[in-house]
Chains A and B, each alone.
Chain A
């Protein structure tokens, strides 16, 4: 029991003073935060405030100019993206580009083929097709329905988002970073995708969500970090953070 409580409180990801400039643009400036296991952290901010760059810094797609990123106590600053993914950090992309020619379930073969999954399943791959179909069912593809077999390029938007989520599940990630997962979804689609994220939280996963749809985000997030011009200007409970004047100003502009 004691051990379990320790585990839930443990810092899983620690971002310390990371900065990144592209040419003259300071995309991320000295951002720091700690993330505990089981938290759902929202990262919000106006367009161009550096949210996606921050995710790219954590997942290795962009190397920071300064600062460090630690995952489970291990310094992963400047690692290649595939090494970071193998530790159990999965992410989705803002611009979703599925493996268009492949049927939906075959898209999951790629994460299922990763060395991480092989190690976790005891060194064997087994029948990946059936594992893939199970995963799709978990994210709300109807079992043996035609969408499962449809080319991913022709899937409706809602299903594409679910497919992205399923890729994270396939990797058996502990930390899942969702870059604007809710964007472009209808209310009905959201209503079916939110429970999947809630289920992840129950399973003890840690989630970071970059979102513009604040109302939906605040219903599930325990904590938010607000970025503005690359600076983290606020960090705290959603209700408290949104009361702050500087946050309102960043969102609504100066009067």
Chain B
């Protein structure tokens, strides 16, 4: 049941990305090109998502537990550090070069074009490389984090 539900939620997400235009790299890049062929559509995607997710989260997180699990898995509250700044900025550069982000590229796979696949293979390699590096950093720091 959790697996079927996740499949359906994935379908809702993929439909939203496609309808919103985030699966199209040209549209994403034009969102960032304020000095050129600006297309503000993606601001509406984010606004629409936050308008639903904001109140939705407030309502849901008041409950004791989710339907298929014993607790809500929320990220631990951590400080704002250089890793967050650097990582997010690096991601932005990657996003701005080709117009693909993880959440846009996965649904774009369904359009059966090669570009999203190439992006996702390289992105997976990047994630695995980063994990190696983070593992080594964690080893060096020991139990401080």
Q: Please say whether chains A and B are actual partners in one complex.
A: no
Listed in ascending order, the chain B residues whose CB lies under 8 Å from chain A are none
